[in-house]
Structure 1
C-alpha cells in the first residue's frame, strides 16, 4: 500500500519548509505532491530545489478545493493524504494512517495540536447527526482517503471557497464509507500572534453552509434547523461582543446582513447543484468536471 501526501500552499514558503522537513522525516517513502499557487514568494524555486518532493503542480486559482483536486490528479498512491502547508506531522503520522486503512477504514483523520500561550490546543472526534444521517467530519488540514473513496465522491467541490472538507464528509457518510479517528494521525501548528486564526467572512461562511446542506439534503427540516441554530448561536455571540465593547452595532448589523444573503445564495445554488449533480457522488464540481487545473507540472 502506497501513501501519497498532497500539500497545498499559497504564499507560505517558510511554513512549507517546516512542513516538508517533518514529512520527510516521518514518511520518507511517501510520494509528496506540492500544489502551489498562485504564490509570489519564491515557493516554486524552493520546492524545485528539494529532493524530497516528487511532483510540483502550479495552479492559477486561489481556491483550496481546486488545489486539492489538482493534487489528487497528480498523486499515484492507493491512499491520498491532505496536509496544510503550515502544519508539521508528528512522529508516527504516516504509519498510523496506513494502520487504520489496513484495519478497514476508508477515510482517516486526526487532531491538530496548536501551541498557544496557555499550552496546547487539540481536537477530538466530531460527529453530528444531520437529517437522520451520522456524519463524522474529516479534518481537512489532516486527513487521508483511500483512492476508492476519493473516486466515489469525485474529490472536493470546487464551488466552495470554504467548508470543502465538511462537504466531503457529508458525501462520504451518504455512501457509507468508514471514517476512522486516530489520535496518532496528529499534526502540529502555531496560532497566529493574536492567539487565533483570522475570523471567517460571515457571508462566505453561511453561503458555504447553506450550499452544502441544500446540495446534500435538499429542503429537509433537519438541515434548515441546523442552519438556523448555527446562525442564532453566531449572532448571539457577536451581540455579546457588541455589549462588551469588542465590536460595534454597525458591524453586527453588517454581519447579520451577510448571514442572510449568504444563506439565500447558498441555498439557491445548492438546490440547483442538487438537480444537476451525479446522484452517487453528490459533486457537480468535482475532479471529473474539468481538466485544466494545472498550469505547469514538474516531475522532480
Structure 2
C-alpha cells in the first residue's frame, strides 16, 4: 500500500469507523505513532476536513485574516446559516458573547442604536457586567414611536449589566442647524456627549444607504432623501453620519444637523466594536473596517469573505 492510500485508509478507520490509533495500527501493521502522523498529514493535505457545526461556532482562520488585513485588534466571524433570515440572530448573539467576555469589563460603554443593537441587547445575559454605565453615542428619540429606539437599547444593556443608562434626549437628526447647536450647547446634553466621547469602549453598527434605513423607519429622513444621498456617493451611515466609500461626510449640511459624537472618536478609542450582518451592509462594512473606524469586528462569514476578497 503506497503512502497516500495508507493515509486514506487510516483516515477512514479513524473518522468513519471511530477506531483508536492502537486499533488502526494493529489492523494495518504500523505503529500507533505512524497512525498519528498520517492523520496529521491527512488534515494538512485536505484529505480530511473537520468542520465544527454549531450556531455559536467561529471561523478562526477568517478572523486571523481580517485582523492581519485591516490591522484590527480582534475579529469574531460566525458561520453563515443556511437560512438567510438567521444571519442577524447569529451575529448579534456572537456580539453579546464577546461583550460578556471582555476583560477588563467596560466601566463606560457608548452605544449606537438600531435593529442590530436592539437584537444584541435582547440576548445579552444578566450579569454580563457589574456596574457598567451605558451612554448613548448619538441622538435617537423616535419621531414615530414604532420602535423602542436608542433609549430601550441603552437601558436594556445597562440593566443586564447591573448598571445605569445615560440617555441623550435628542432626535438623531434635526430640521435646523440652529436647533441642533442649541441642544448641544445645553449643559446636560453637552455633559452626556462628553461622557460618550470619552468612553473606553464603543459598541456600534452601521446602516445601509437605502430606503430600509432606520432613519427612514424612525421618521428622520424620507426614502427620497437616502436615495439622493446614495446618488451623491453615500454607502451608509455610522452614528447617523452618512459617509462615502473613503469615509468622507457626503452632505455637510445634513451632518451639521446630526446629534452625536464625532466619528474620529471611534478611530481613537481604546476599543470600538463594530457589529454588522448581511449583504445589504457590505459596502458600509468595507468602509468602516478599511478606514479605521473600528478596532474589533463582529460579522458573518459571507460578509468577512466579501471584505477579504474585494479590498
Q: TM-score, normalised by structure 2?
A: 0.23
Structure (1/2) with the larger helix percentage: 2
Structure (1/2) with the larger strand percentage: 1
- The structure with higher relative contact order (CA 8 Å, sep 6+) is 1
Q: TM-score, normalised by structure 1?
A: 0.24
